[in-house]
Structure 1
Amino acid sequence: MSLRKTSLVLSLLLALAPAWAQIGQRFPSEKRVVNDPVTGTPLSFLTTRAGGDSKIYPSHPQWTADGQWLVFRSNRVKGEAIAVNEATGDLVQVTEGGYEGMLNLSQSGGNKLYFMRKPATGPDKAREAIEVDLDRVFADSQTGKMKPAATYQRVIATLPAELEAYGDNALDADNQWFYFRIQGKAYAGAKLPAGTKIEPPFGPRGMGAGPHAIGKVNVKTGEFQHVVSVPFQIGHIQSNLWNPGELVFSWETGGKSPQRTWTVKGDGTGLRPLYPEAPYEWVTHEAVISKDEVALAIMGHRAIPGVQDPARAPGTDVGGANPGQDASWGNSGTREKPTGLAIVNLRTREMTIAGQTPSGSGLWHVHGSPDGRFAVGDDFSRSLYLIDRKTREMILLSTGHKDTARDHPHPTFSPDGKKIQIQSAMLAADGREMNIVVVPVPQAWLDRKP
């Protein structure tokens, strides 16, 4: 082959590298600190280019067990997950062969990642549960001596097609069990008590019908066990990261549910509504934030029929680009009743409202610091609000993340409660592409007495 042809082949290989990229591939740091244009808060953008980035859902851990890396979804290598070192900004590909749905980071016992994916061969609806040894990935990536993907990725179990297992999943607090959603209606229905009424679709999106189930596999042995079946569509399975064997999940309709939030033990006992809601309440985006508490949003995002909100232009609501504006959802989500960032105690079942925006869309995605000091929420304008749970003071922490963004900021507190991870379109030329950002809790707030 001529030198010119060899050069062309090498150029083609380099151009195609991301599509062939191996686990452990590294990308240069994009880290940059940008001061919020309104509040002045220093925002640490860990990614800054248009790479198809999106953070892990706020109901799940974002940081690795050692607190050094954040894992996120990206199109830098299509269909693969990326980790970014918070201190250096180094980017490393941490999966190979794809993943489906949620990414789960262990919070003890080393840096490990768990997810589901479709097997390379076999029935279309079969799924594999995968464990990735991130410590080995990071170490070998640093030296540039990567081994085959199977060195780092272990198949925990192959889940049979009859389960129709889906990537809505969670890792237990002690890393022993990996929980997942079962969509196979024949399997889920066979496990329901005789005579159980199967719920039909609910709302204008035609979602919510059951039955669904939750299953689990043992991370060490691959043993499968049934947890619970319910007569409705399951969504957002999450584990209590401080209390092994405790789950929270939702009745998913794509909007308001008849009863959104549920909790159950890992052995299938104790199934009950987490926050029993009224028909006029729009409850959404629950997240376990500590051993005993779950944050959720009780929406106050819709105009009261026949009443003009002075904060809104006549005849408008919070904007058609956001969910919940369709009149077919009924008269829920207005401020005729208490709304806001609610926190439910799993033991006492007491609910308190930590705060609410004074007008407008209301808080939408919510979270809290594990020490119980702070809560955080975003709204439809993609602004971020911080709440002192002791004093009920609320401040605008960050804004300017563009309401044209592909998604909401989805705030999640770090385990130490000193910072919050979001996704932002602030730097996006098209107003949509998002980047991974860490927002500090103001030092003056951290210095307050708990």
Structure 2
Amino acid sequence: MKKLIAALSICVALALTTQAQIGRRFPSEKKIVKDPVTGTMLTFLTSTPAGDAKIYQTHPQWTSDGQWLVFRSGRARNEALAVNEKTGDIVQVTEGGYTGMLNLARKSMKLYLMRNPNPGARGGDLQIVEVDLAKVFANSKAGKMQPAATYQRVCGIVPANLRAGGDMALDANEDVLYFRIAGPEAAKHLAPDAKLEPAFGPRHMGAGPAGLMSMNVKDGSLKYVVSVPFQIGHVQVNPWVPGEIIFCWETGGKSPQRTWTVMADGTGLRPLYPEAPYEWVTHEAVITKDEVAIAIMGHRPIPGTGKTTVGTPVAGANPGQEADWGPSGTREKPTGLGIVNLRTREMVIIGQTPSGSGLWHVNGSGDGRWAVGDDFSRSIYLIDRHTREMLMLSTGHKPTATDHPHPTFSPDGTRIEIESAMLSADNKSMNICIIPVPESWLKRKY
């Protein structure tokens, strides 16, 4: 009996190993669906309820050759996958798991991630890993996969005492990764007169200190960037300007001062967009070499008016209504999709929905032509930055979905990637979806 149990255990272990292998292929699920409201033709690159999720909209989604989109999925839990936009082929591109943000290089077929080499243990050292995607795709297609170490290289070790988090971003030169840390090391680098910030808001998040460090992906060397007296989140870079970092004061909602920027040598630390107490600023994303898009939310009713801004509540769709967030997020003051110039520090609001929550997760094309945002209803709105015309591209992506659409432009500005529950029978499970910018808009001349 013991031998039988042992044999079964080996079989199970082998099966799990097989399931976790890098290069494993899945059949195409690509499907073209007409939006029943707007008529836009949507390309679903995944269409089964496997629990898919795109990379966050602050980071690149497409590989440098423009052919593959990287995402995560229940098909291979805690691993990254890639789907070919043309063929629909799906390939597992990591083995061994990861934590936090997936970082695609824009100039090379590389993927960078942070990993706990001992996932059963907490508080240990972390690895930063480089994945050779070109080799993975080629060998997977040929059916000649090698051991995972053939494709994955450990760039360096992040010591446990740094209490590093998964917020990480690849510099424009693609030689350095920036990541968030916390604890005593962050406190040690604070300015002597810095006052630690307490938790803010009903989620009891935002307390400091925190810091940013960098790792050189060639030799694994570590360098300190800066410390701040609050919790750091959403670490991202300017992909056109080496050494320029954007991050936020993370509270899980409204922050006293949400957006921040600093250079890699620790200089130039300042608020990106200095906000007033009545402004609810969120979901900043670098969109051009000089600009960052932000959402100034207009999702809460104005006190004393008896008017509800967001309409009929849907569970999970209308967050941020708690009184503890303070007097912010109403339309008593200007709200909408704002674009901040990193050089001149000027901000302009280029669009807002006439009702409902207003624009929520925002992005823009690198050529400066378009901006995009979603709202609490999970509708997607395109804005022509030259004319300020706004168009609902797609809707029906279900407020009950497990996450938000998080729209992100393709590098050439012709397509938008979202995650959507439109096809899900349970109204929750999401898929990877591509929305085209209308051909008539692409042909516009200014």
Q: Identify the residue that residue 343 of structure 2 maps to in structure 1.
A: 347
Q: Is the 8 A contact 2:111 2:131 kept in 1?
A: yes
- Per the TM alignment, residue 285 of structure 1 is displaced from its structure 2 partner at its CA by 0.1
Q: Distance in 2 between matches of 1:223 and 1:18?
A: 32
Aligned residue pair count: 438
Secondary structure, aligned partner of 1:167: coil
Q: Distance in 2 between matches of 1:326 and 1:332?
A: 11
Q: Distance in 1 between matches of 2:229 and 2:310?
A: 40
Q: Identify the residue that residue 39 of structure 1 maps to in structure 2.
A: 38
Q: Is the 8 A contact 1:409 1:423 kept in 2?
A: yes
Change (3 A) 1:404 1:134: same
Q: Identify the residue that residue 408 of structure 1 maps to in structure 2.
A: 404
Q: Deviations over 1:363-413 (max 9, x none)?
A: 000000111111000000000000011111001100010111011100000
Letter in 2 for 1:38: V
Of 286, 289, 292, which aligns to 2:287? 289
**In the alignment, structure 1 residue 386 sits paired with structure 2 residue 394:** no
Q: Distance in 1 between matches of 2:303 and 2:122?
A: 51
Of 239, 242, 253, which aligns to 2:240? 242
Q: What percent identity do the matched residue pairs reach?
A: 66
Q: Distance in 2 between matches of 1:37 and 1:412?
A: 22
Q: Distance in 2 between matches of 1:158 and 1:94?
A: 21
Q: Is the 8 A contact 2:315 2:400 kept in 1?
A: no
Q: Is the 8 A contact 2:301 2:308 kept in 1?
A: no
Q: Distance in 1 between matches of 2:126 and 2:218?
A: 17
- Per the TM alignment, residue 20 of structure 1 is displaced from its structure 2 partner at its CA by 3.4
Q: CA RMSD in A?
A: 1.9
Letter in 1 for 2:166: G
Secondary structure, aligned partner of 2:75: coil
- Per the TM alignment, residue 195 of structure 1 is displaced from its structure 2 partner at its CA by 2.5
**In the alignment, structure 1 residue 363 sits paired with structure 2 residue 363:** no
Change (3 A) 1:447 1:197: same
Change (3 A) 1:311 1:333: closer
Give unpaired runs (5+ residues) of structure 2.
none
**In the alignment, structure 1 residue 21 sits paired with structure 2 residue 25:** no
Q: Identify the residue that residue 254 of structure 2 maps to in structure 1.
A: 256
Q: Is the 8 A contact 1:301 1:318 kept in 2?
A: no
Change (3 A) 1:312 1:212: closer
Of 333, 342, 356, which aligns to 1:337? 333
Aligned counterparts, 1:182-193, within 5 A = 182-183=181-182, 185-193=183-191
Secondary structure, aligned partner of 2:180: strand
Change (3 A) 1:395 1:226: same
Q: Distance in 2 between matches of 1:425 and 1:141?
A: 29
Give unpaired runs (5+ residues) of structure 1.
none
- Per the TM alignment, residue 16 of structure 1 is displaced from its structure 2 partner at its CA by 3.9
Superposed structure 1 runs of 4+ greater than 6 Å apart? 12-15
- Per the TM alignment, residue 321 of structure 1 is displaced from its structure 2 partner at its CA by 4.0
Of 268, 271, 291, which aligns to 1:270? 268
Q: Identify the residue that residue 300 of structure 1 maps to in structure 2.
A: 298
Change (3 A) 1:311 1:174: closer
Change (3 A) 1:14 1:395: farther
- Per the TM alignment, residue 14 of structure 1 is displaced from its structure 2 partner at its CA by 12
Q: Identify the residue that residue 95 of structure 2 maps to in structure 1.
A: 96
- Per the TM alignment, residue 311 of structure 1 is displaced from its structure 2 partner at its CA by 6.9
Change (3 A) 1:80 1:419: same
Q: Identify the residue that residue 318 of structure 2 maps to in structure 1.
A: 322
**In the alignment, structure 1 residue 424 sits paired with structure 2 residue 423:** no
Q: Is the 8 A contact 1:385 1:397 kept in 2?
A: yes
- Per the TM alignment, residue 327 of structure 1 is displaced from its structure 2 partner at its CA by 1.2
Q: Identify the residue that residue 439 of structure 2 maps to in structure 1.
A: 443
Secondary structure, aligned partner of 1:280: coil
Change (3 A) 1:320 1:165: closer
